Amino acid sequence: MNQPGKAHRVMARWALIAALFTVVVVMLGAWTRLVDAGLGCPDWPGCYGFLTVPQSEASIAEANARFPESPVDVSKGWPEMIHRYAAGSLGLIVFGIAIYAVRHRREGVPVRLPLFTAGFIVLQALFGMWTVTLQLWPKVVALHLLGGFTTLSLLTLLTLRLRASRKPVPPERESALARLRPWLYGGLALVILQIALGAWTAANYAAVACPDLPTCQGQWWPEDMDFRHGFDILQTIGPNYLGGQLTADGRVAIHMTHRVGAMVVLGYFAVLLLALWRQVRQTPLRSMVLLTAGVLLMQIGLGIANVAFHIPLSVAVAHNAMGAGLLLTVIHMLWRVHGYARQPVAEPAGTTTNQREVPA
């Protein structure tokens, strides 16, 4: 395989920077939401018509005159604006990568993925605007949260394409990995679904609906859960959703569904990772299996700590970050397995493992 050229190396460096910075943006978004600062600035993209949060008495008076229904709260405005500054900086980096890819397309760098990511950033910015203008409408908030995870996934895939190399595994393992690959895709789908449930839980302020473990309000399966209202994705546009508008029974239904989803993910991956371990424990893939198992256990532990300690800010932000980590470890493992797990073909006599082409 040819060594990557300068354009590949430059793009790889910036793709990695963008991916890491996306993690920071996701965590800042979680922090903003958890301190109830999602409407810290009632307009977009500025804050009360200013580029920064109003600070002086004169600017605060002017801001309050512009938005009499949303008086300035500096402690809420700054988390919102810091998140916006960070998201805007990420957008500039992604657009820079896309422009660089187009300019150096003749050098073999990927172009479609950077352009798609840049386009998705525009959509994500629109969701950020609608989050404010629609006053934290849960459907938009949840989609905005999922958009952050999607952006992170796209930049991770770009980084993997530009930087990572796949090390070959013994030929006798290839067919076994090919059989397990669909189950890995199933695991990825479950993780995405669980992240979506987490986003819906956060958007509807349902994390505090069950303050005890392993029961919920003293019951193993609360009788009054309201799934119809809890999962009503067509909630009315117009009310201020800060703090949530759902009934307590609707929030309990969301919370319990998220708990059940966590147990399903844990059970599914316990079986899948054990099956993978049996096939790859003597191969380079063993580190990815161990990493995925470790991240999954940490995420479950953080979820339990959220309930046990009543949603402390640091734990809740870490829970969001670890959710992103779990998604990325599964994507990384799938990317590596996808390159190996092809039905083996007959090879000429005398061909060694090192001579076999590893898919890019």
Q: Any idea what DSSP says for residue 105? A: G
Q: Which helix (H) or strand (E) holds 177?
A: helix 171-203
Q: What are residue 221's phi and psi, to 5 degrees?
A: -140, 90
80 is catalytic: yes
102 to 92, 123, 143: CA distances (angstroms): 15, 20, 29
The whole-angstrom distance between residue 185's C-alpha and the CA centroid of its chain comes to: 17
The gap between the terminal CA atoms of the chain, to the nearest Å, is 9
Rounded Cα–Cα distance for residues 198 and 192 (Å): 10
DSSP-based three-state secondary structure for 77? helix
Q: Which of 80, 174, 223, 347 is catalytic?
A: 80
CB–CB of 225/255 below 8 Å?
Answer: no
With CA atoms as reference, report the closest residue to 138 among 239, 45, 260.
239
> What is the number of other CB atoms lying within 10 angstroms of the CB of residue 269?
21
Q: Which of 354, 55, 337, 8 shows the shortest CA–CA distance to 162? A: 8
CA distance 42 to 120: 24
The identity of residue 227, as a single letter, is F
SS3 154: helix
DSSP per-residue codes, 230-273? HT-TTPPSSS--TT--S-HHHHHHHHHHHHHHHHHHHHHHHHHH
Residue type for 166, please?
R
d(CA 137, CA 149): 19
Copy the structure tokens of residue 22: 């996306």
Radius of gyration of the chain (CA): 23
Catalytic amino acids? 80
